[in-house]
Each structure stands twice: as structure tokens, then as C-alpha cells.
Structure 1
Amino acid sequence: MIDYSVFPEAPGCYLYMDDAGRVIYVGKAKNLKRRVSSYFTRGGHDPKTERLVESIRSADYIVTGTETEALILENTLIKRHRPRYNIDLKDSRSYAYIHLTEGPYPRIGIARQARGKGEYFGPFVSAKERDYVLNVVKKTFGLRSCRRMPKRPCLRHHIGTCTAPCIGAIDEAGYRERIDRARSVLRGRTGDLIASLRADMQRASDDLEYERALELRDEIAAVEHLAARQRMVRRTDHDEDIIASMVKDGTVYLMLFAVIKGTLTDKQEYVFPESEGYFEEFLVQYYGERTPPKEVILAEAIDPALEAYLGERRGSRVTVTVPQRGDKKKLLDLAIKNIEITFFGDHLKLQALGRALHLPEPPNVIECFDISHLSGTAMVGSMVQFRGGRPDRQNYRRFRIRDVEGIDDFAAIAEVVRRRYTRLKEEGGEFPDLIIIDGGKGQLGAAMAELKRLDTRIPIISIAKREEEIFVPGFPHPIPIGRDEKASLFVQEIRNEAHRFAITYNRLLRKKAMIQ
């Protein structure tokens, strides 16, 4: 079984490999850690998934900015690796174009090849993505898709997705304005268009044209959503490499993204000692063994002689780009984000939590307690330990509640805290740097009272499930940490693991009782 604790709680794609290093499955996830762990902690898989799990020997991941980007990347990786356990996504419609015809009322449609009059946008690597873009643009701007203009409006006009130039429902100037907006979206120039649409919406609202303002609001929402999907599917006619690096404590951490025809397809990681000129030395060695792409995107400029060397290796000019904004800068930032999560994610989480709680040092050892029961029966407690930001399963503990009858979570928390730290004190064991209690102010107060009785000083907090509010002793209100901030997400991660461990033990006891 792979160590899924190293996976981040972030959106992205995961890749499973067999003992020969072949990619056998590619999947996407809103939360990589939660999704990957489900393969190994849950039962009841179908036969195909069971065979997949038995074949997994290693795993990798690529973090993306959004779940939508993960969806697009998944499709690209499947087409690249053809994994054995993914469904076959071969599609004869791939690499087609979106076509805007000429004339006073251009139509929008699909073209297999960029031949003939009109404008062509693409090619699209993914047929699914192409169809999505086509449908959004067609519906958002009400463009005609009929090959011949009919004499009466079709169903699309009646359901509000076509402006019906066939019956003169829109004049040529108004239709041309919509074509211009669609052209901007298809070229990826959504920023200026969104700003223009917002200004038009405000003017329509000021003029009390509320119906028009609502139409523009819907257009803005559609364009913004489309821009998010297009972020990782840029239309270019050449391949690119995006290379980013970070240096920490004399070690270089480097990430390389391969972009094929505008689509992120793969990543490679390198770790090596820092030395003078390490980056240029890496480029020489890396491209000494392979042909450079037409463009290399870096965070800093390199020596012109090295740029000439890349051109010699390729046999034609290689462009070295240092982007300051735009899609290429976003991909460079994404590479840096992957470095941070892959190599420094645990350290960053600990630092964020230490700062949020105003601790003198980041809490290296954290213990979290939870209570689980079913209407007061089979009441159990769990304690999980995180060390260095990762689960330390050898130090997990579970407790059968002995001294509590009925439903009393406060007393149950008090019991497991008392038993845990009484034993540590008697055995001279290592105390944690932070204690987390699953619950609100009541559970926190019960645990704090036990620590005082034991004359033990350990920083302690609690987290309430509904709003993910974090409480500290002595304050009646939760501390001001947003539920989506790094520190809060880390606390939620630890609490969720304690909750999972407690439920597993509770189910085990109930199963034993049923058998008896």
C-alpha cells in the first residue's frame, strides 16, 4: 500500500504506477489526499478497482489551481499514457476547430480542418472541451448554428439560445457585436471583455433596463467560468517547457512542466545540492540528452550563449521567455506551487498553524482526540498523532470509555485526556506540542480541566464541526481564522483523521457485539 499521507489536500490529478513503472490509472480529485486514501481505507470496491489496488506499487500527483483544471489535465494525461484501468477515451473528433463563417450573420460550428473562408480557433486537443466551449459561446451570445437561414425561427430561438437573425429579431450591427465578443472569448482574451460587459451591465442598470442587465450578468458568469476551464488548455502551435526552482538549506528543488500544443501533460521533479550556476548547469545536462521544445519558460533570463546552445540542440531557434503576466506566468506560478506542496507542504502547514495560534515554535508533534458512539452505545475515543505535519500511525491510540454512562461527550473527552496524559506522565513519555479536541467550548473546557489536575501545561485548542470554528482557552469566541486558511485546513485535516479512526473502532465494537 502506498503512503497516501504525503498527498496534499488540494485539487489535482493522481497517477498510479505498477511494478514496472507504467502508469496504470489516472484520476482527478477535489481533495487528492482524501480521494487517494479512499482506495486503501474503504472496502466494497468493484472487482476492477480491487485488481487496480492490487497492482499499484507507486503513485504521483500534479496539483492544479481548481477542480476544473484537474478535469482537463486528467483527460490530457489519459490520452498521453493510455492507462490500463481507465476507460478508452479515443475520440475521432479530437483536434477539430471551432469555425466562424463569413457574411453579415456568421454561423458558429465545428470544422475538421482549417480550410476555407472564415476564422478557425484551435485545434482542440480534447473533443469534450471543444464541444463545451462551442456550446457555451453559442448559447451565451445567441449565435446561429444553422447551415442555411430558415424562414421562421427554430427551437433554439424559442428557448432563448439564438437571437434569430433569420427573422430579423436582431440587426446586423447587434449581431456583429455579439460575434466580436465570441471572438474575444475564443482567443482567450476574456479580461477586457469581462470589464466591458461589467460596464455595460452597470449602464443598463442605471438606465433601469433590468432585463438587459440580467442578460449581461449571465454572459459575465459564463465567460468567467469558461476562462477558468481554458487556463490549462492554451491554443499554441508549438511545445513548451516550464521550469521553476526553489533553494532551501543548500538544496535545489526543481519542477519541470511539459506543455504540448498548449496543454499541460506531465511534470518532472529534481532535487540536487546547490552550487554556483546550478540552473544553467541543469539546462545543459537536461537538454544534452533530449531535444528542447520551441519555447522554454523560466523565472529568470539566462545567458545568451546558453540560449544559442538550446537552438543548436534543437536545430532551430529556441525562444526563452520570462513572463510577467498572462497564461505563461500562471503556469510558472503553478510549477512553483507544486514545488511548495511537494517538498515543503508539511513545513508550511506547521508554520501557518504556529503563526495563527501565536506559538513560540511550529508544533511538530500534535495529538487530536475525538469521541464516537451510536446513541450512547459502543462509546469509544480516539487519539491520532501528527509528527512533522504527517500522520504517525505507530502512535495512534484508541480508548473504550469506561467511566461514562449514557451520552456525555464532555465526560468522555475528559476521560481519554486524563488516561492519555496520566500514562505519559507515569512513563516519562514525550508530550505533544499541541492538543486538538474535536468539539466546541464545552469539550475544550473538559479537556483543559484534566490537564490542570495533572499539572500539565500543553497548548490546547478545539474545533467545532459545523462552522469549523477554532476555540482557545480563556476566550468566549472563536479565534479569527478563516475556514479556508492554511492553518484551519490543517486542523481540519487532523480532526478528520481522528474522526475516521474513532468511527472505525466504534464500528468494530458494534460488529463484535452483533456477532456475540
Structure 2
Amino acid sequence: MEIIRKEIQLKTRIRRMPHTPGVYMFRDVHGAVLYVGKAADLRNRVSQYTAGDAIGSKTGQMVSQAESVEILPTVSEFDALILEAKQILRYQPKYNIISKDDKSPLFVRLEFSRELPVLRFLRKGEALHRMNKNDAVFGPFQSGRAVRSLLRSIRHIIPYCTQKIRNGRPCFYSQIGLCRPCPSLISVMPDGILRQDSVRIYRRNFRRIRDLLDGRSGSVIRSMETEMRRASKAQDFEKAAELRDKTENLRAMLRKHYDPAVYTETTGLPAVAGAEGNELSRILRRYIPVPEYPKRIECIDISNISGDFATGSLVVFTDGLPDKSWYRRFRIRKDKSPDDFASVAEITRRRFNHPDWPAPDLFVVDGGKGQLSAVNQVLRQIGINLPAIGLAKHEEEIIIQTEDGFHTLKLNLSDPGLHLLQRIRDEAHRFAHKYHTLLRKAGRQSPV
């Protein structure tokens, strides 16, 4: 009877969980943490623990001992991965120690004690063995595949070497930009300025990797932006462009990353989202009448290939977080010509044909001046006065239209207000593309 009652309570708790990335922790009757896990979608992942016979014996035993489940929603999956490792290290949960394959979790060790640092993947017993005080260890990571995939992504932005033998010959990866400068080459360089500069650059790369794994992505981005400005000032435009692209790729990989420590505070994710909303409002109020805190933000996007199976999406963020109960998808009714402006106008009109839906504090369109013009023209025609902006993908520019014409704002990539807009825009794009792909697979038109 007690087990049934706990199962009902767990299912009730799950129904209130958000569809966001994050970390979940099962606790026993005394409050001790039994297990820590991460999820791309908290509600979907935790609901799998109620699947009965579908879960393994060890998991079933853990669930039977669990009295409650606690969640820590995060902004991104990257945050969830780092936060999971920090929580496991903090609580040492019983069922995290008993892993599925009887192997201990994986650690990442950065060996700064060497002139040319080395990155190693190690198990628990090895991670602290013969460790120098200057070395940095991160983990434990429950999923070796996830952390290796993460480091591969980082390597495309911040190159480092994985070759064990350093004999003076450049490794294969140095030829494709994933190891630069190559420590194998540096190891045989004669003493001089060239060698000193190469060592400095390689150690700087490792410091950036350390900061990323420690949840300090903001400092990494600021450092890369400073380096980019220096290159531009020195008229080394090729290097400046490369750094610009890498910085943008890093932002995309992190998906607007924050220090995971913020999620363990009492305020947690709502405080992060609230700070983003306040900052966005502060920036936009100089141009358009945005509330001091935009509680409800809506964003639309279009997805099509040559006009075929064109779809539109409307996503809603409430208090800076996805509010999926208000997501809507649209099948474009216009002719098959790929006219983004007409499609944006159609979706805007159809959205505001529903006076029963709550009005947004801010309306966002994925696009530039043309898309924003289409939105504002429809709003004028139907007599609705509300602030609308565009977010152009290529340069991540905010487009605003006033009586004086268009204004283009290019914010720092670390700006919290921009993070919120990027997250909303990316979600609108994902939702529109998902519906477009569904229609293409079906191979037929099926209005919703």
C-alpha cells in the first residue's frame, strides 16, 4: 500500500515538472540523496522511473527506497552535465557509485604541472593518483560518452592535443585545426620567442578549457573577444574573423551557459531568467514601450524548403521560461512561392485572430528588417499596439522599428538580455522545423 501511495505521489510530482534540461535527485525518507541524474527534458526523463517492469533491478531497488525527487532546472544541457558532476561529488550518492557496468565514473584531469599540459580521461582511482597541486580534476561524469562528446565539441573551438607521443612530428589533428599549436612540434623547438609564444598560446587554451569545465564560460568568451579586438586593431582581419566565428560557435555550443552554482542557490533558474528579462527590458525601453519586466514573450518563425510544406511556429516564454501549453504550430496557407515576408504576415494575423489568448508583453520574429516590417504592418492594420522586435541570425542583431526608421542593436554575446532572446528564437526555430519535417515525411498537406 505504501509503495502504491509513493508511486501516485511521484507521478503527481512529475506532472508538475517542466520540460527543460536539468538535474534530478532521488532522496530517501531521511533526506539522503540516493541518486543524481541529468536530463535534456526533466519531465520525460523522470517519468521513465515509473515504467515498472521497463526499469532494471538496481533502478527499481533505488526507486523503492526513494521518498522524494528534487529537481534543479537549468538553462542548457551543458549546464546539466556540469551540475550533475558537482552534485555527485558533493553527495556521493549510493546508486551513482554502483554504476551499470560496474565501472567507476569518469574524471577529466588537466595536467598543468607539465610545460605543455595534457588532458586525460581517468577513472576515480586514477584521477587523484600522482596528481600535482597545479593540476585540475573535473567529475565524476556518469556518462563517458557525454563528456567525451562535450570535449570533442570544445576542441573545434579551443584546440588541444590528444597524441601521447611527442617526437617532433606534428600530429594528424594539427593538419585539420584541432591541435594548434601542436605540442609535439613545440617540444623540439629551440629556445626563443617562437617557442615561448607557442607555449603561452597552448597553456592559454588549456586555461580556457579549465574555465569552461568549471562553469566560467563568461570569462572564456570575454578573453576571446578581447583577443579578437586586438587582432582587428593590428589589422589581422583573418585572425579576427576566425576568433569571431569561434566565439559564436562557443555561444551556440553552450546554449547561453551560466555558472552551474547558480542553480543550487535558493533562487535558482527563475532568478537567472528574471535577470535576463530585466536586462532585455532595460535595453529595449530606450526605443519602444516595453514593460519593466516582460512577463510573457512570444516568438514566431517560419520553416520551409522552396515554399514546400511551409510551416510556422509560435512559442511562448513566461517569466523567462518555456510555457509549452501555449505553443502553437501553423500550416502556411499561401501559395507555394517561398515568400518569408508573406508567411510572417500570415502567422501574425492568425495569431492575433485569437483575442482569447493572453496578449504578449513583447512580440519577437526570427528575422531582420523585412520580417519585422511584415509584423508591424499587420499589427497596424488590425489596430493592435504592442512592442515587436526582430532577431537576425547571422550577426545576432536586434532589429527595432520606430517612427524614425530602423535601429540595429548588436549586443555583447555575453549579454543576459541577448541570451533570453536567443533561447526563445532557437526554440521557435526548433518547433517550426519539427512540424515542417513531420509534414515532409508524411508527404501530404494536413492543416492543423
Shorter-chain TM-score range: 0.5 to 0.7
CA distance in 2, matches of 1:218, 1:411: 51
The correspondence for 1:214, drawn from 179, 184, 198, is: 198
Structure 1 residues 500 and 156: CA distance shift in structure 2, 3 A: closer
- The 2-side partners of 1:156 and 1:470 are apart by 49
Question: Alpha carbons of 1:376 and 1:22: their partners in 2 closer, same or farther (altered >3 Å)?
Answer: farther
**Equivalents in 1 of 2:25, 2:439: separation in Å?**
34
Look up the SS of the partner of 1:472 in the other structure.
strand
Q: How does 1:11-160 map to 2 (within 5 A)?
A: 14-17=23-26, 26-27=36-37, 34=40, 36=42, 39=45, 58-61=69-72, 70=83, 72-73=85-86, 76=89, 79-83=92-96, 86-87=99-100, 91=104, 126-127=124-125, 129-130=127-128, 158=167
Of 402, 427, 434, 2:362 maps to: 434
Residue among 351, 355, 367 paired with 2:282: 355
CA change 1:126–1:515 in 2 (3 A) is same
1:471 aligns to what?
399
- Within the alignment, does 1:375 sit opposite 2:306 as a pair? yes
CA distance in 2, matches of 1:416, 1:227: 43
**Largest Rg, 1 or 2:** 1
Unaligned residue ranges in structure 2 (runs of 5+): 1-13, 48-53, 114-121, 137-163, 170-190, 217-258
Closer, same or farther in 2 for the Cα pair 1:210/1:59, shift >3 Å?
Answer: same
Q: CA deviation at 1:476?
A: 4.1
Write out per-residue CA displacement over residues 439-491 of structure 1, whole angstroms, 9 at most, x where no aligned residue.
Answer: 12211111111111112111001112233222111454531322332111111
Distance in 2 (alpha carbons) for counterparts of 1:515 and 1:84: 51
Contact 1:404–1:411 (Cα < 8 Å) also in 2 = no
Counterpart code for 2:408 = P
User: What SS is found at the alignment partner of 1:481?
Assistant: coil
Matches within 5 A, 1:228-267: none
Aligned in 2, Cα 1:73/1:216: closer, same or farther, shift over 3 Å? same
Where does the alignment leave 5 or more consecutive residues of structure 1 unmatched? Answer: 42-46, 101-123, 139-154, 161-206, 233-331
**Contact conserved, 2:19 with 2:42, CA < 8 A, in 1?**
no
| One-letter amino acid of the counterpart of residue 341, structure 1 | G
The 3 A distance-change label for structure 1 pair 450 and 132 is: farther
**CA 1:435 to 1:230, structure 2 compared with 1: closer, same or farther past 3 Å?**
closer
- Corresponding position: 1:486 with 2:410: no
Describe the SS at the equivalent of 1:60.
Answer: strand
SS class of match (2:297)? strand
Aligned mates of 2:420, 2:201 — CA distance in 1:
36
Rounded to whole Å, the distance in 2 between the matches of 1:417 and 1:457 is: 13
> Which residue, 341, 346, 369 being the options, matches 2:273?
346
Residue pair 2:300, 2:315 contacting (<8 A) in 1 also:
yes
CA spacing shift, 1:216–1:365, aligned 2, 3 Å: closer
Query: What is the RMSD of the two structures over their aligned residues, measured on CA atoms?
Result: 5.1
> Paired residue for 1:392?
323
Is contact 1:379–1:400 with CA below 8 Å preserved after alignment? yes
Q: Pairwise mapping of residues 263-274 of structure 1 onto structure 2 (< 5 A)?
A: none
State the percentage of identical aligned residues: 27
Q: Distance in 2 between matches of 1:507 and 1:476?
A: 34
> In the superposition, relative to structure 1, how do residues 221 and 499 fare at CA in structure 2: closer, same or farther (>3 Å)?
closer
Aligned length: 313
> How far, CA to CA, are the matches of 1:413 and 1:461 in structure 2?
13
**Paired amino acid for 2:424:** I
In structure 2, the CA distance between the partners of 1:72 and 1:89, relative to structure 1 (3 Å rule), is farther
Alpha-carbon contact 2:83-2:261 (below 8 Å) kept: no
Give the whole-Å Cα distance in 1 for the aligned partners of 2:194 and 2:201.
10
Q: Distance in 2 between matches of 1:440 and 1:498?
A: 15
TM-score, normalisation: structure 2:
0.54
CA contact (8 A) 1:79 1:89 kept: no
Equivalent position of 2:386 in the other structure: 458
Distance 2:396 2:274 in 1: 22
Q: Is the 8 A contact 1:371 1:409 kept in 2?
A: yes
8 Å contact kept, 2:82–2:260 = no
2:352 maps to: 421
**How far apart, in 2, do the equivalents of 1:157 and 1:350 lie?**
50
Q: C-alpha distance in 1, partners of 2:133/2:168?
A: 14
The DSSP-based 3-state class of the residue aligned with 1:471 is strand
Q: Which one scores higher on RCO, CA 8 angstroms, separation ≥ 6?
A: 2
Distance in 1, matches of 2:336 and 2:75, equals 48
CA-CA distance at 1:73 after TM superposition = 2.0
